[in-house]
Amino acid sequence: MTISPDFQIRTHRSLVDVAYRLLDAAAILCSALVATRFTDHRDLENLAVVGATTLLVHTIAIEVSGLYRSWRGARMTTELWCVLINWIYTAPAVLGIGLLTRFNAEFSYNTKLAWLALTPAAMASSRVVLRMVLRNLRKRGLNTRSFAICGMNELGLQLADNINASPELGLTFAGFFDDRPNPRGEQLVGKDYERTGTLNKLASMAREGDVDMVFIAFPMRAEKRIRDYLDRLSDSTASVYIVPDFFVFQMLHARWNQINGLPVVSVFETPISGIDGVLKRGFDLVVATLTLAALALPMAVIAALVKWSSPGPVFFRQKRYGLVGEEIRVWKFRSMRCHDEGDVVRQASKDDDRVTPIGRLLRRTSLDELPQLFNVLDGSMSLVGPRPHASAHNEQYRSLIDGYMLRHKVKPGITGLAQVNGWRGETETLEKMERRIEFDHRYIREWSLFMDFKILLQTIVVVLRQENAY
């Protein structure tokens, strides 16, 4: 095989990679030292054994967790989650080795607990600091890499704008490259960008090491053009990425998966699975249990008032759609007089004559929703999620609003993002329901445990204001 004389191999992560490894090693050793010195005051010999064993297991664990991959452009939270996952692999193995060899038998439980907590905290803190340092260096033109974009179109322009708006990524723009005689992007770019050249020039720059990263932003239908670019760029060491134009679809929660080695990308998917699902379910159980314990007496008083206010049961159960559209029974304190609506379910409106005096107070303060905490405990609902609509309303709006049923990719909630953003109560027009669905989709796309906590706090404010509650 003949290598052209201008073919170059360049390394970019050597110093950053070394910095990551040194910081992690320092965090591991310092955490062991602090945990020992402030608890048991043991000798250096056992401390050295603990530190060396932890470093060895950590080195093996990173092959599974991928902790030392390139984090350029990745979210900080993603990197910190990887640190935690790597520690989840490392800590049990070290404790298991210590149990078998008894080298840590003299350490107290306080020491072990301190070591378990301090090590990931120190590793995470050092990475936050390193990110801040790298961000400042990259803004000053250091530790940068050059990138090129193939395809002057809306997707390529959006990518260029996104990268150039984030100087902390340390990426410098080498230009747009497109073989088409009159790229459509030139009509869109205006004075901001110009086409730098064609594939021949890009391939030459990549071989010479003038371009480190190449983003191919052609539409998915341009398979032949993409293949041509990949073939030419394979004669270089530039990192090449295909940017699929998935933005033409209504992406709900995208993630890459594999089916027996074949990569696939999800378009409509739930974000709450795996460890995220466990965390959300645990959060629901803890908060719902504590809330029910605290409100047991007030709920008993409300039940007595409902029974006294009008003939009928204390609780009202209505058929709703739950996760993946399965039918559930949602519990509420009965706030209306008993009636038969048949197949048509009328939404509650202002001055609704069906609402009892006690029911009006309950609805205005949202106390009628408290029994749904039992739905949370049995797993049919969550504390936070899209509010469940009556089954009749689901059948009505699923044919009127695109993507309406996608709100059922997660469990319905007692409160939700739409409710704390002013879309609580009656949706008497199609436009109002569309706005509510937009917030439901946004919740699914952007979900995090912190978002749930924030929505719960905002719900308290909304309830106190009594907006759109009747």
Give me the CATH number covering residue 163.
3.40.50.720
409 and 446 belong to one structural domain = yes
Q: What is the pTM of this model?
A: 0.56
- Domain membership of residue 83 (yes or no) is yes
pLDDT (0 to 100) of residue 6: 41
Most confident of 45-54, 77-86, 258-267: 77-86
According to DSSP, the residues that pair with 147 across neighbouring strands are 173, 213
**CA–CA gap between residue 385 and residue 402 (Å, rounded):** 19
Q: How far apart are CA 407 and CA 385, in angstroms?
A: 9
Query: Are residue 187 and residue 238 in the same domain, yes or no?
Result: yes
- The last residue of one of the domains, among 232, 248, 264, is 248
Tell me: the pLDDT tens digits for 141-178? 676 788 888 888 888 888 888 887 777 677 888 888 88
Place of tokens 């027009």: 429
At 355, phi and psi to the nearest 5? Answer: -80, 135
Residues 233 and 345 placed together within one structural domain of the fold? no
- 169 and 244 co-located in one domain: yes
Residues 290 and 167 in one domain: no
Asked, for residue 9, whether it belongs to a domain, the answer is no
Indicate whether 189 and 224 sit together in one domain.
yes
- Size of the chain in residues: 470
- The yes-or-no verdict on residue 3 having pLDDT over 50 is no
CA distance 437 to 431: 10
Q: Are residues 133 and 156 both part of a single domain?
A: no
| Domain membership flag for residue 446 | yes
Average confidence score pLDDT of the chain: 78
Q: Could you give the percent of the chain with pLDDT greater than 70?
A: 79
How confident is the model at residue 341, as a pLDDT? 52
Pairing of strands 145-150, 171-177: parallel
* DSSP assignment letter at 470: -
**pLDDT at position 312 over 70:** yes
Give CA angle at 66 (65, 70), nearest 5°.
Answer: 150
Same domain (yes/no): 124, 185: no
Residues 440 and 456 in one domain: yes
Other Cβ atoms closer than 10 A to 110 = 12
What percentage of the chain exceeds 90 in pLDDT?
10
C-alpha 36/C-alpha 424 separation (Å) is: 54
Task: Give the separation between CA 281 and CA 354, rounded to whole angstroms.
Answer: 36
Nearest to 373 by CA among 270, 302, 431: 302
pLDDT band at 284 (very low <50, low <70, confident <90, very high): very high
Average pLDDT of span 377-386: 92
Q: Which residue has the tokens 């043991």?
A: 42
Please report which confidence band the pLDDT of residue 381 belongs to, taking 50, 70 and 90 as the band edges.
Answer: very high
CA-to-CA distance for 94 and 456, rounded, in angstroms?
39
Residues 103 and 157 reside in one and the same domain: no
225 within a domain of the structure (yes/no) = yes
pLDDT tens string 249-262: 555 666 666 565 66
Q: How confident is the model at residue 286 (pLDDT cuts 50, 70, 90)?
A: very high
Residue type, 270: T
The answer to whether 240 touches 216, Cβ cutoff 8 Å, is yes
How far, in Å, are 149, 179, 218, 233, 240 from residue 173 at the CA level?
Answer: 8, 19, 18, 18, 15
Residue where a domain stops, chosen among 194, 214, 248: 248
Q: Does the structure show a pLDDT above 50 at 390?
A: yes
Number of domains in the chain: 3
Quick check: is 3 in a domain? Answer: no
Convert the pLDDT of each residue in 229-256 to its tens digit.
888 887 777 788 888 776 555 556 666 6
Mean pLDDT on 404-409: 85
* 190 belongs to a structural domain: yes
Task: Name the burial class of residue 2, with classes exposed (0-12), middle (13-18) and buried (19+) by CB atoms within 10 angstroms of its CB.
Answer: exposed
Per-residue tokens: 337: 């007089």
Structural domain including 234 reads 145-248
Asked if residue 35 belongs to a domain, the reply is yes
In this structure, are 456 and 307 located in the same domain?
Answer: yes
Q: What's the farthest any 2 CA atoms get from each other in the chain?
A: 93
Residues 166 and 29 in one domain: no
Residue 266 falls within a domain, yes or no? Answer: no
Q: Which residues of 134-192 form beta strands (DSSP E)?
A: 145-150, 171-177
pLDDT at 9: 37
pLDDT (0 to 100) of residue 376: 94
**pLDDT value, residue 455:** 93
Q: Which residues are CB-neighbours of 235 under 8 A, at least 6 positions away?
A: 4, 7, 203, 206, 207
What is the per-residue pLDDT for 375? 93
- Choosing from 90, 118, 139, the residue where a domain stops is 139
